[in-house]
Amino acid sequence: MDSIVIHGGNRLSGSIPVSGAKNSAIKLMAASILTPEPLRLTNMPRLADTRFLGALLREFGIKVTEGDGADGQETLFDASQLTSTFAPYDLVRQMRASFNVLGPLLARTGEAKVSLPGGCTIGARPVDLHLMALEAMGAHIELEEGYVTASAKNGLQGAEIEFPFVSVGATEHALLAAVMANGTTVLKRAAKEPEIGDLARCLMAMGAKIEGLDTDQLVITGVTSLKGTDWSVIPDRIEMGSYALAAAMAGGEVRLTKGRADLITALTDPMRRSGVEVIEEANGDVVIRRDPTQRLQAVDVTTEIYPGFATDLQAQFMALMTLADGESVIHETIFENRFMHAPELMRLGADITVSAGEARVRGVNALHGAQVMATDLRASMSLVIAGLAAEGETTVGRVYHLDRGFERMEEKLGACGADVRRIKGEGPEH
């Protein structure tokens, strides 16, 4: 398996372009199932997750063509001929979000058989809300031997669906199914993440009728068919926030381009309180500036649903707080068991105490390089961020997690002066 080696201590100086949002791109890719006409997505990130989903879409007979256009990286989807509605475990297990092909397949063809996501037992991070929404729209669903077999012989029907709690995945999945249901569907307690707004606006460009954009109640009037369109994926707010924290951790001055400052306000506010200079420019660029000789200040954060502090930036912010003056308290309210990066940061010398959904981070004077292991996508980036400021050499193992969500990370940080390189390894990546 590959690893990332970082020699810490270099200040960063330069520009980092923000890629298209992974969490938007993969749902937009699923939307290609809904139309026999071409869907062209621009500002597309090239990631392990988009490759996984591309392979699954090809399994259905969809032509997926990657290229470089005038608008940068693009992918063209041609679903004019669907030859299968079966999503096998070997493909679905590689990425949970690939389960969201179920709704579009049902909406377009009236049937589908999709594996439950890898490691999923309808418990933690459940898919039961996804299935509840589809059943409310009239789908007949059976669970057998790890597969969901679903049918809607007379088409999906509009319904009023109130989620018991906010779920990004379930909101997106229900939206993908409802746009071609008969009648009107109302989604109550819907998630409001920017990626959902991006998906909804793309669907509207394809001919869908959706009201209540960016609110917790979406009203979808079903249409009989959707057309193709060209759509640019929104900037990745998690990548943008991660590089902002990397710049703050290492010190120096970094300009983040092709992003949107309004997407990371919940992060830049506590960054400013910690002593980091954040400058939002008229052209949309964000400049992160910090003198590394000046000590950061401890700041408390609590993860919340959007527009609150993103759980996907919690690990990276914790890395920043390991060098802050004082004690910061980080509350994780979205996902259980999401402090697995804490023991790895402690291997670098961090002083962290974890109890249930709370982590107390007491800032230390210095971190020291060590061998550490990535436990998930966002945790892997937190270890890279910590390694940028650690004395000596840090080696991050199992970086296939990193490749799921960060495009050309070594290249982007290296262009700003970071000493970061990938060591190719042998053996399976999973």
Which residues sit opposite 408 in a β-bridge?
A: none
- Is residue 382 within 8 Å of residue 318, measured between CB atoms? yes
In angstroms, rounded to a whole number, what is the distance separating the alpha carbons of residues 336 and 414?
Answer: 34
Residue with tokens 């249901």: 181
DSSP state string for 316-356: HHHHHHTTSBSEEEEE--S-TT--THHHHHHHTT-EEEEET
334 known member of a binding site: yes
- Is residue 261 within 8 Å of residue 219, measured between CB atoms? no
Neighbouring C-beta atoms of residue 62, cutoff 10 Å: 21
- The one catalytic residue among 1, 55, 120, 132: 120
Compute and round to an integer the Cα radius of gyration of the chain: 22
Helices (H), 322-390: 341-347, 377-389
125 known member of a binding site: yes
Centroid of chain to Cα 405: 7
196 known member of a binding site: no
93 known member of a binding site: no
- Is residue 405 within 8 Å of residue 239, measured between CB atoms? yes
In angstroms, rounded to a whole number, what is the distance separating the alpha carbons of residues 29 and 53?
Answer: 8
128 known member of a binding site: yes
**Per the omega criterion (within 30 degrees of 0), is the bond before 235 cis?**
no
216 known member of a binding site: no
Token readout for 298 is: 């401890």
Which residues sit opposite 76 in a β-bridge?
A: 40, 65
223 known member of a binding site: no
Please count the residues of the chain. 430
Q: Is 120 a catalytic residue?
A: yes
348 known member of a binding site: no
Label residues 317-355 b or e (16+ Cβ within 10 Å = b): bbbbbbbbeeebebebbbeeebbebbebbbbbbbebebe
Token readout for 366 is: 């210095």
In angstroms, rounded to a whole number, what is the distance separating the alpha carbons of residues 353 and 361?
Answer: 7
22 known member of a binding site: yes
262 known member of a binding site: no
Q: What are phi and psi of 367, to 5 degrees?
A: -105, 155
Instruction: List the catalytic residues.
Output: 120
Residue set of the binding site: 22-23, 96, 125-129, 312, 334
Residue set of the binding site for UDP-N-acetyl-alpha-D-glucosamine: 96, 125-129, 312, 334
Residue set of the binding site for phosphoenolpyruvate: 22-23
